[in-house]
Amino acid sequence: MAFKKVLIANRGEIACRIAAVLRQRGIGSVAVYSEADANAPHVRAADEAYCVGPAPVAQSYLNRDLILEIAQRTGAEAVHPGYGLLSENTAFARACTVAGLVFIGPTPEAIEAMGDKAQARATAKAAGCPVVPGSDGPVHDDEEAARIAESLGYPVLVKAAGGGGGIGMAVVDRPERLARALTSCRDRGRSSFGNPTVYLEKYIERPRHIEVQVLFDHHGHGVHLFERECSVQRRHQKVIEEAPSPFVSTRPELRQGLTDAALRAASSIGYRNAGTVEFVVGQDGEYYFIEMNTRLQVEHPVTEAITGVDIIGWQLDIAAGAPLTIRQEDLTIRGAAIECRIYAEDPEKSFMPKPGHIGAFVPPVLEGIRVDTGVGPDFDVTPYYDPMIAKLIASGPDRATATSRARAALDAFVIDGLTTNRTFLREVLGTETFAAAAYDTSWLERYVKETGR
Ligand code: ADP
Ligand code: ADP
Ligand code: MG
């Protein structure tokens, strides 16, 4: 029943991680790589590897036809898309099926239902999941947007319907600024996602970002793996994530509400495989659906750490048709875990990506530390891809232990020759605000300003 060979349609740490899971299970692996990645660790991590074109993703990692041709030629039975790239691409998921390959993820219909974020709001609402007050679907023109914004009350958030990775989003605090935000989000949506559609949401002040991991098999059984909190963000993008959420841990009824809502939203679209339902949660504990990511998420390791569930392993088993044998009542939260995203970027210069050459690279080997990385010593970090070079996951019996382990490990991590946010992360973990988990999604940016960067 299990697959014998799987193609990994991704790069970096996630391709390495998937290759490791495949190796552990005795499943053959096929990697693809761009010309810029010929020496990348993910190429060596797999049994076989094939070049799919020049550095830009549009000419390599997004070359659907060539990737599928390689899968067929090498006798792979399934394709794991990782996150980003082709992971939420309905046409690719469909093309896999047409080519006789299993797409390791949800059905194309489920990806489609949640892919348009304006439409996803309606879907979630219909499933009885509270959504942020906002427009019913896309806004068509500036007058309509102004009317809706007025009725919601400022500040509002303009969002690209096709958005992801914090791109195509703008907070508007007064009417005069709405038109410009609409134009810029339409432009970003068009250039980054090929979709100029935008919609409006009420901007929830100082919220927390809390999300629920779900897993569903093909036999109608699904579970949630509790929540993660990802409120430490810059530019609407996560930098430090943790499980469980310290905010939710003291509010059992909130955990019940969030996890029920996530399962309802997923069930309502016949969801299969791993997925994440994201919420913003107000300081008053009110929670609102913002989107569903129909794929594996960057921060899934913190959930693996506190539940002991191998999420990628289950993705493979579920895609191969196996029943999910985990029962909800058997799942418990053990301890706490914190993930730090290590980026090739300069915290002193607005977190600008900073490509460069890595000299020595020595991940820490310490108790309670897991490092997922896609780079190594003597390696070039190029400007073509996401600047995240490693994830450091610290776990322990409680949050304070996980925090001090993460700080020690960041200290011990040797990354020579490259500017990274490593010491910045260590500093952030050492603040009183982090220790008290008294943060919200705009705290990190306020902290950066206050510390004079
Ligand atoms: P997650 O949602 O898993 O927490 P991110 O939002 O940082 O993580 O996105 C994960 C990766 O996918 C990043 O490399 C990001 O650049 C990329 N990404 C996210 N959404 C999209 C999208 N819609 N299109 C292309 N890339 C995306
Ligand atoms: P993406 O698809 O880029 O991940 P999301 O819709 O998930 O975009 O939002 C990204 C981040 O923006 C959230 O984690 C949160 O910090 C912030 N955000 C999103 N919607 C709202 C909202 N209505 N009010 C306040 N903050 C929001
Ligand atoms: Mg999101």
Q: Is the CB of 166 under 6 A from ligand 2?
A: yes
- Which of these, 224, 260, 262, lies nearest to 243 by C-alpha position? 224
Domains of the chain: 5-104 (3.40.50.20), 133-202 (3.30.1490.20), 208-450 (3.30.470.20)
pTM to 2 decimals?
A: 0.96
pLDDT given for residue 283 in this prediction: 95
Give the pLDDT of the chain (453 residues) as one tens digit per residue: 799 999 999 999 999 999 999 999 999 999 999 999 999 999 999 999 999 999 999 999 999 999 999 999 999 999 999 999 999 999 999 999 999 999 999 999 999 999 999 999 999 999 999 999 999 999 999 999 999 999 999 999 999 999 998 899 999 999 999 999 999 999 999 999 999 999 999 999 999 999 999 999 999 999 999 999 999 999 889 999 999 999 999 999 999 999 999 999 999 999 999 999 999 999 999 999 999 999 999 999 999 999 999 999 999 999 999 999 999 999 999 999 999 999 999 999 999 999 999 999 999 999 999 999 999 999 999 999 999 999 999 999 999 999 999 999 999 999 999 999 999 999 999 999 999 999 999 999 999 999 988
Q: Measure 305 CA to ligand 3 centroid, in angstroms.
A: 21
Distance of CA 16 to the CA centre of its chain: 16
> What's the burial of 55, exposed, middle or buried (CB within 10 Å: 0-12/13-18/19+)?
middle
pLDDT given for residue 452 in this prediction: 86
Ligand with minimal distance to 297 CA: 1
Do 198 and 139 contact (CB within 8 A), yes or no?
A: yes
Q: Is the CB of 164 under 6 A from ligand 1?
A: yes
pLDDT given for residue 379 in this prediction: 97
Q: Measure 300 CA to ligand 3 centroid, in angstroms.
A: 14
pLDDT given for residue 1 in this prediction: 72
Indicate which residue's Cα is closest to atom 6 of ligand 1. 165
**Rounded Cα gap, residues 148 and 265, in angstroms:** 25
Q: Measure 85 CA to ligand 3 centroid, in angstroms.
A: 15
pLDDT given for residue 297 in this prediction: 98
Cβ of 163: how many Cβ atoms within 10 Å? Answer: 22
pLDDT given for residue 229 in this prediction: 98
Q: Is the CB of 441 under 6 A from ligand 2?
A: yes
3-class DSSP assignment, residue 243: strand
Q: Is the CB of 291 under 6 A from ligand 2?
A: yes
Q: CA angle, corner 368, sides to 362 and 372, nearest 5?
A: 45
3-class DSSP assignment, residue 310: coil
- In the numeric block, the tokens 């910045």 are attached to 424
**Rounded Cα gap, residues 195 and 371, in angstroms:** 35
pLDDT given for residue 165 in this prediction: 87
Indicate which residue's Cα is closest to atom 20 of ligand 2. 290
Which atom of ligand 1 approaches the CA of 278 most closely?
Answer: 2
Helices 422-429 and 399-412: angle between axes, nearest 10 degrees: 150
* Cβ-based neighbours of 364, under 8 Å, separated by 6 or more: 371, 392, 408, 409, 412, 413
Indicate which residue's Cα is closest to atom 25 of ligand 1. 84
pLDDT given for residue 123 in this prediction: 96
Which atom of ligand 2 approaches the CA of 134 most closely?
Answer: 23
Residues in the chain: 453
**Residue of 111, 228, 287, 441 to mutate, ligand 2, most atoms within 8 A of C-beta:** 441
Do 1 and 320 contact (CB within 8 A), yes or no?
A: yes
> What's the burial of 353, exposed, middle or buried (CB within 10 Å: 0-12/13-18/19+)?
middle
- The token duo for 156 is 């509002």
